[in-house]
Structure 1
Amino acid sequence: MKILYFAWLRTTIGKSSEDISPPEAVHTVSDLLNWLPSLGENYSSALEKRDLLRIAINQEYADLDQKIKPGDEIAIFPPVTGG
């Protein structure tokens, strides 16, 4: 599974992407967001405001209860504003 981090998430975590293999208990976006903070303080800090995050699975917006699988590309980013 490839995880992409954008904006302040990338800065706080310290990387723009990574390939991970979450435990078998991780089945949904919510499960993933609950597990990622166990990887370190930088992940905990970056993901503590989950209500601000947007998630895309394979370049399509996803809800927290959406299922994920090993070959998916998961993008995690804050809301985007523009002008």
Structure 2
Amino acid sequence: MKLLYFAWLKQKTGCAEEEVQPPAEVATVAELLSWLEGRGGGFAEALADRTAIRVAVNQEYARPGDPVKPGDEVALFPPVTGG
């Protein structure tokens, strides 16, 4: 699974992208975020407030209950605002 981090999520986690292999029981967006947060450090800090994070799976907006699987591209980014 390829993870992409944008804006302050990239700064807090210390990486722009990475390849991960979550455990088999990680099957939804929410479970993935919890697993990533459990890595500690900048990941825990970046993922502590889920209301400040948006997720896209394979370039489509995703909700917490949406599925994730090996081979997916998952992007994490702050809410987009316009002006």
TM-score range normalised by the length of the shorter chain:
over 0.9
Q: Which moved more, 1:7-16 or 1:32-41?
A: 32-41
Residue 17 of structure 1 is matched in structure 2 by: 17
Gaps of 5+ in 1: none
State the TM-score, normalized to the length of structure 1.
Answer: 0.95
Question: What code does the residue aligned with 1:57 have?
Answer: V
* Partner SS state of residue 38, structure 2: helix
What is the TM-score normalised by the length of structure 2?
0.95
Structure 2 unaligned residues grouped into runs of 5+: none
Task: Write the letter of the residue equivalent to 2:38.
Answer: S
Taking only aligned residues, the RMSD between alpha carbons, in angstroms, comes to 0.8
Tell me what 2:63 maps to. 63
Is 1:76 the counterpart of 2:76? The answer is yes
Aligned residues: 83
Runs of 4+ in 1 over 2 A off after TM superposition: none
1:61 aligned counterpart, secondary structure: strand
**1:32 partner amino acid:** L
1:43-62 mapped onto 2 (5 Å cutoff): 43-62=43-62
Alpha-carbon distance, 1:40 to partner: 2.4
Q: Hey, what's the Cα distance between the residues in 2 that align with 1:78 and 1:20?
A: 21
